Amino acid sequence: DGRRSSEATGHFFDSLDRDGDGSLGSEEVALFLRDQIGGSQFDSQSAVDDEVVTVIEKLDQNHNNGLEMSDVLDYWMQLESLLTAEEVRDWIVYAVQLPKSVGQIFLENGITGYDFLEIIENGGNVLRDELGVEKSSFINKIVKHIQARMLGIGSIPESPKNFSYKLESCKTVSFSWSKCKARVFPVHSYRIQRRAINLFEHAPTSTRSHPGTDLDMSLSMHVEPLPSDWKTVYVGGENEFVDSLLETGHNYLYRIQAWNSVGRSSWEMIDLSRQLKKQRCSMKPSHKALLDSHAQSQRNQHDGYDHWELLAIPKRLAWGIVLVVQFFFTFVRGFFAVIAMGTAIMRYRRASATTTASA
């Protein structure tokens, strides 16, 4: 809430205000950059001086060439890209570059940007004591990045430029883009997401059905194509990527963003639908292909189904052989029983005839 935020801001501000005069001057900001942030980006005094000027210009609300606690709090409250737990989870994973398990901890505990100042109090003890982040290196890294974010050090990356693609086949597409730039902290990764749109999801119409199959309902229906959720397909530092998991009968949207230690750029998007249609990759699959796809999806519903299906073939064959043998054995027994009965009747008739003749 607002009270806790003000208190936390006060603790953070006091840790930077070396002379205790209630205002951060240029030298105090410079000391923070050199001692707390450090890194190759602040090796030279000119780099430090340039960033000090930028930070003060960005945060100084009353333009008195110094930063008061209200300036820091006002800036912190405007961090719109970190207002939700999902955004903070992504920031931990892609900006701070920590494992997804650490980002999940922030998500499960509902941590948003409003909680950042409480998190870095006392060197980030809450990360270990309450959130269960064990590694000291992870804690130090999180605290350092939050501190830099609170003071507006550096900038988010520019959006990726010249984002283009080449459709190699109906299953493969390659992408390339220009490397992005950012102030102070360089871009360390790009994130690409894909969204598939199935062109042949179906809802009720007058189209014909196919009796005798499990597709009776689905093949007699037609609706607007339904998009899937966005799925991350690439995270890395290279400025090219190849996706070989496209499926016929779908349109695809892709979007890309750049990340550095401050945060993310805006998304740049590409729609493959026109090119997919041009190369006949978005054509409706044949009925046989739909049946095959349906059968394959049913097989995939159970682990090991294919294995047991293969075992079932010789099992059915064995049962067939057993039935044939049993039938043949029963037939032979019946045949000999008939012969034996006929022989008995003939003997009986002969005996009767002999008896009559003797009389």
Question: Is-above-0.75 flag for pTM?
Answer: no
- What percent helix, strand, coil does the chain show, rounded to 5? 50, 15, 35
Instruction: Give the CA distances from residue 24 to residues 28, 59, 74, 83, 147, in Å, rounded to whole numbers and listed in that order.
Output: 6, 11, 15, 26, 15
Interval 11-51: pLDDT, tens: 778 888 888 888 888 888 888 888 878 777 787 888 888 88
Q: Which residues contact 53 (CB under 8 A, 6 or more apart)?
A: 26
Q: Evaluate whether 80 touches 112 at the Cβ level (below 8 Å).
A: no
- Using alpha carbons, select from 2, 1, 24, 4 the residue that is nearest to residue 14: 24
Long-range contacts of 5-8 (CB under 8 A, 24+ apart): 5/73, 5/76, 5/77, 5/114, 5/117, 6/73, 8/117, 8/118, 8/121
Give Cα 168 distance to the centre of its chain: 24
Q: Which residues contact 279 (CB under 8 A, 6 or more apart)?
A: 167, 170
**Alpha carbons 273 and 275: distance in angstroms, whole number:** 6
| pLDDT in 10s for each residue of the chain, 359 residues | 444 456 666 677 888 888 888 888 888 888 888 887 877 778 788 888 888 888 888 888 777 777 888 887 777 777 666 779 999 999 999 999 999 999 999 999 999 988 888 898 888 999 999 999 999 999 999 999 998 888 889 999 999 999 999 999 999 999 999 999 999 999 999 999 999 998 876 544 444 444 444 444 343 344 455 566 899 999 999 999 999 999 998 999 999 999 999 999 999 999 999 999 999 997 765 555 555 655 655 665 555 444 434 444 455 666 677 777 777 778 777 777 778 777 777 776 776 766 666 65
CA angle 160, 267, 40 (to 5 degrees): 50
CA angle 323, 328, 334 (to 5 degrees): 125
Interval 64-82: pLDDT, tens: 777 888 887 777 777 666 7
Residue 111's H or E segment, with its range, is none
Phi (first) and psi of residue 42, to 5 degrees:
-125, 35
